[in-house]
């Protein structure tokens, strides 16, 4: 009997706290607001919540610039609210994961304020200071070295200038940061999402990065702005640090750690450990955020994930977050996508979204869903000039259509709009006059309340799939085998565990498919037209089926087939 650690079989729901639920009518989401909505997430069926940062911060990068790691930004609540949130999640049998920004602090963190004053203060060596900059570029282009008058030196920042990188080669820094990790673990937090974890170490000798022909980074190849970040990301010391981080987590039992890492699968896999999973428990693999909605794409993806993250590792399946386009953007009918499917009607998008959810919740891996994806929230469109996100302001020299053409999300405000709870004022997110970002105009049609009562809504489909996943250990822990000999456009895989076999068939085509399979019993159908009879499978366009299949393991009894369930 296998039994995986909880963090390898859980399901994750990502909350962007500023936009989830505003409990005090100031137009900004907050921690008491999350507590009020925990039942919604539990009833939907997610087991773990990950919350983007809510610690003290000048909010220049909306919390990814922290000025106090052990206290809460007043607009989100108090330390006592955070502790209550942990407890409230646990009372509901859920796990809670915080977002830890280990690489950098805010420039307003007292450590940096002190560090920049002179070359010989007690924190002088807590950040990365140089007399002369190397040629290194930051992750968003341009030199990442910034001059500080007071000290007459340059400090390094991997991301934006107000986010100075900590110096992990100083043991005091590492100790201080790991103590913060221990602080929250001691308060009962079940783990961490680790912000840009792969840039924590930089080359000790500050060697110049080599030239590259690449201008725009991809998730596989991070070279950009004509530079290969050879000495600024994925340094060997960073893989060692992943194991040190893990051992701190282990002091508190089974705790989740999921790294935001980039740079190609072979490299990012190293953050998990070598032969055994003794590094981070999970990593995000962002290439799939650029998915194409075809069976071939997903077949290739599964093959790659199985190859790079076989047992005892576990892949994460994630299609959107607070930095990237929402998945609806890739499912067609987004007029800003020049390659959008001409057939991308709203109804079709909804069917595609259900199929995507069915894939994400049944494939071997930990699914991670960004808030609002369960109702099909879409990107907003805001002018760059008035963006709250600092990034678009750095690219004012290039017109918007260039980024749209590249499919790059520049203004992240567009995917961070308030959660659409119902059809009332501000989509039920806040009773304030205005909200920190405007609610998406489609909220009267796209909201939770509406989808709760529509039997076959995306929301109820996600709920039904999560229920099956919780009921079927095989879907949580089973191995995976891709099925061959399927009609074009159909993806199929079997999940297998302890003599049980479940088959998943997904039709990525808008045309109906009919084909033969071995004897099976129906467990779930995505649409009422999907059916199995007399060993023949009928899949509607964008249809999907989950089937029980006999699995010939000597001495094991084939379980009886329970009656099928549908999204209702």
- Tell me which residues are annotated as active site: 195, 251
**In the complex, least distance from residue 100 CB atom to ligand GLC, rounded to whole angstroms:** 11
- Interactions with ligand GLC, residue window 42-71 (CB under 6 A): 61, 64
174 versus 322: smaller Cβ distance to ligand GLC: 322
Number of residue whose CB is nearest ligand GLC: 64
Q: Verify binding: residue 195, ligand GLC, rule CB under 6 A.
A: yes
Helix (H, G, I), strand (E, B) or coil at 491: strand
What residues have CB less than 8 Å from 250, skipping those under 6 apart?
none
**In the complex, least distance from residue 551 CB atom to ligand GLC, rounded to whole angstroms:** 41
**In the complex, least distance from residue 512 CB atom to ligand GLC, rounded to whole angstroms:** 41
Q: What gap in Å lies between CA 250 and CA 436, rounded to an integer?
A: 39
From residue 321 to residue 340, the character string flagging contacts with ligand GLC as x (rule: CB under 6 A) and all else as - is -xx-----------------
Please, are residues 11 and 361 in contact by the beta-carbon 8 Å criterion?
yes
Please, are residues 28 and 22 in contact by the beta-carbon 8 Å criterion?
yes
322 versus 469: smaller Cβ distance to ligand GLC: 322
**In the complex, least distance from residue 61 CB atom to ligand GLC, rounded to whole angstroms:** 5
349 versus 416: smaller Cβ distance to ligand GLC: 416
Supply angle C-alpha 511, 293, 99, rounded to 5: 145
274-295 b/e (C-beta count within 10 Å ≥ 16 → b): eeebebbbbbbbbbbbbbebeb
Q: Verify binding: residue 194, ligand GLC, rule CB under 6 A.
A: no
- CA distances 490 to 160, 369, 462, 482, Å, are 44, 24, 20, 11
159 versus 271: smaller Cβ distance to ligand GLC: 159
57 versus 337: smaller Cβ distance to ligand GLC: 57
304 versus 323: smaller Cβ distance to ligand GLC: 323
Q: What gap in Å lies between CA 262 and CA 268, rounded to an integer?
A: 6
**In the complex, least distance from residue 391 CB atom to ligand GLC, rounded to whole angstroms:** 8
Q: What gap in Å lies between CA 204 and CA 207, rounded to an integer?
A: 8
Q: Verify binding: residue 181, ligand GLC, rule CB under 6 A.
A: no
From residue 297 to residue 326, the character string flagging contacts with ligand GLC as x (rule: CB under 6 A) and all else as - is -------------------------xx---
- Interactions with ligand GLC, residue window 81-120 (CB under 6 A): 101
Q: What gap in Å lies between CA 487 and CA 470, rounded to an integer?
A: 30
59 versus 209: smaller Cβ distance to ligand GLC: 59
Q: What gap in Å lies between CA 113 and CA 4, rounded to an integer?
A: 45
For 245, phi and psi rounded to 5 degrees?
Answer: -60, -45
Closest-CA residue to 398 (of 410, 390, 380, 387): 410
**In the complex, least distance from residue 289 CB atom to ligand GLC, rounded to whole angstroms:** 12
Q: What gap in Å lies between CA 184 and CA 142, rounded to an integer?
A: 35
The count of chain residues that interact with ligand GLC, using the rule CB under 6 A, is 9
Q: What gap in Å lies between CA 518 and CA 532, rounded to an integer?
A: 11
Q: What gap in Å lies between CA 272 and CA 97, rounded to an integer?
A: 18
Strand extents, DSSP E, 195-275: 256-259
- Interactions with ligand GLC, residue window 266-285 (CB under 6 A): none
- CA distances 70 to 67, 423, 483, Å, are 9, 37, 49
From residue 517 to residue 536, the character string flagging contacts with ligand GLC as x (rule: CB under 6 A) and all else as - is --------------------
Among 145, 159, 403, 436, binds ligand GLC (CB under 6 A): 159
Binding residues vs ligand GLC (CB under 6 A): 61, 64, 101, 159, 195-196, 260, 322-323
């Amino acid at each position: 009997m296998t039994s995986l650690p909880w963090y390898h079989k859980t399901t994750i729901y990502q909350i962007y706290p500023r936009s989830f639920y505003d409990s005090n009518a100031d137009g900004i989401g907050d921690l008491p607001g999350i507590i009020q909505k925990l039942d919604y997430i539990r009833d939907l069926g997610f087991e773990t919540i990950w919350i983007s940062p809510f610690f003290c911060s000048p909010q220049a990068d909306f919390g990814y610039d922290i000025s106090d790691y052990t206290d809460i930004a007043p607009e989100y609540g108090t330390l006592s609210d955070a502790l209550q949130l942990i407890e409230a999640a646990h009372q509901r049998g859920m796990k809670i994961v915080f977002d830890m920004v280990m690489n950098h602090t805010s420039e307003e963190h007292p450590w940096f304020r002190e560090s920049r004053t002179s070359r010989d203060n007690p924190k002088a060596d807590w950040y990365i200071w140089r007399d002369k900059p190397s040629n290194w570029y930051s992750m968003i282009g341009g030199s990442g070295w910034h001059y500080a008058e007071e000290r007459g030196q340059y400090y390094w920042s991997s991301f934006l200038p107000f986010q100075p990188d900590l110096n992990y080669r100083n043991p005091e820094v590492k100790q201080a940061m790991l103590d913060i990790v221990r602080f929250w673990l001691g308060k009962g937090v079940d783990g961490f999402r680790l912000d840009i974890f792969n840039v924590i170490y930089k080359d000790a000798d500050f060697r110049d990065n080599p030239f590259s022909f690449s201008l725009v980074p991809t998730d596989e190849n991070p070279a950009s702005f004509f530079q290969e970040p050879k000495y600024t990301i994925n340094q060997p010391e960073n893989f060692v640090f992943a194991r040190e981080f893990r051992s701190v987590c282990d002091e508190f039992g089974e705790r989740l750690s999921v790294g935001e890492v980039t740079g190609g699968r072979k490299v990012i896999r190293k953050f998990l450990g070598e032969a055994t999973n003794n590094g981070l428990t999970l990593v995000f693999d962002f290439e799939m955020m650029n998915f194409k909605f075809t069976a071939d794409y997903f077949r290739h993806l599964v093959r790659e994930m199985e190859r790079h993250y076989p047992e005892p590792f576990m892949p994460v399946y994630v299609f959107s977050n607070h930095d990237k386009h929402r998945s609806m953007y890739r499912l067609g009918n987004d007029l800003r996508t020049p390659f959008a499917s001409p057939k991308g009607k709203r109804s079709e998008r909804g069917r595609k979204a259900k199929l995507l959810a069915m894939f994400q919740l049944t494939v071997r891996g930990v699914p991670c869903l960004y808030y609002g994806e369960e109702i099909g929230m879409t990107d907003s469109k805001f002018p760059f000039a008035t963006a709250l996100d600092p990034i678009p302001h750095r690219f004012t020299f290039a017109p918007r259509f260039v980024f749209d053409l590249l499919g790059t999300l520049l203004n992240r405000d567009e995917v961070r709009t308030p959660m659409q709870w119902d059809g009332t004022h501000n989509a039920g997110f806040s009773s304030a006059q205005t909200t920190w970002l405007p609610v998406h105009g489609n909220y009267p049609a796209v909201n939770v309340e509406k989808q709760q009562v529509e039997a076959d809504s995306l929301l109820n489909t996600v709920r039904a799939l999560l229920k099956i996943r919780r009921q079927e250990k095989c879907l949580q822990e089973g191995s995976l085998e891709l099925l061959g000999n399927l009609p074009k456009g159909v993806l199929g895989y079997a999940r297998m565990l302890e003599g049980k076999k479940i088959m998943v068939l997904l039709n990525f085509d808008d045309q109906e498919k009919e084909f033969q399979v071995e004897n099976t019993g129906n467990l779930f159908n995505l649409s009422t037209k999907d059916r199995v009879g007399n060993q023949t499978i009928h899949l509607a366009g964008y249809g999907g089926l989950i089937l029980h299949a006999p699995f010939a393991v000597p001495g094991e009894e084939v379980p009886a087939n329970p009656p099928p369930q549908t999204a209702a």
